[in-house]
Amino acid sequence: MMSESNTMKAATGHKQIKVLVDIEIADSFKAACKKSGVSMASEISQFMARYSKTAMRRKPSTIEDSSTRAKRRKIIAHVIRLMELARDGEDVYRENMPINLHNSTMYESSEESSSAMEQAIDILESVYQ
């Protein structure tokens, strides 16, 4: 059980969230905020607000959006692009991993994820050519 002194409470009307990012990204973000004279929390809050507004404006998908093969191909092409981005992210993650962590569980999991995404991309491309 956490003691009261170890627990941070969010201000009234706010919700505290935990964001996990790469240490280098976090350090760069912190340095940029400090240099600009803004708080990290306010920048993240503004980003979330802008993103939420953009997401809310998007037209929700309906079953009619995939009523033809051409429309389904367009959806699958988008899914493939997203999977390629995720796969490339895994590859970059491994490339930036310290040498002493090669052959570790994290490294192997990343390799397996990348390989699985590549297989899924190949399958989707072969079905929706």
For residue 89 the two structure tokens come to 């992210």
Mean pLDDT of 18-34: 83
pLDDT digits (tens, 9 = 90+) for 79-88: 999 999 999 9
Residues 94, 117 contacting (CB under 8 angstroms): no
Residue for token pair 């409470």: 9
pLDDT of residue 129 exceeding 80? no
| Chain segment 101-122, per-residue pLDDT in tens | 888 998 899 999 999 999 999 9
Phi (first) and psi of residue 28, to 5 degrees: -65, -40
Q: How long is the chain?
A: 129
Going from N- to C-terminal start, the domains of the chain cover 15-57, 63-127
Question: What is the architecture of the domain spanning 15-57?
Answer: Orthogonal Bundle (1.10)
pLDDT of residue 59: 66
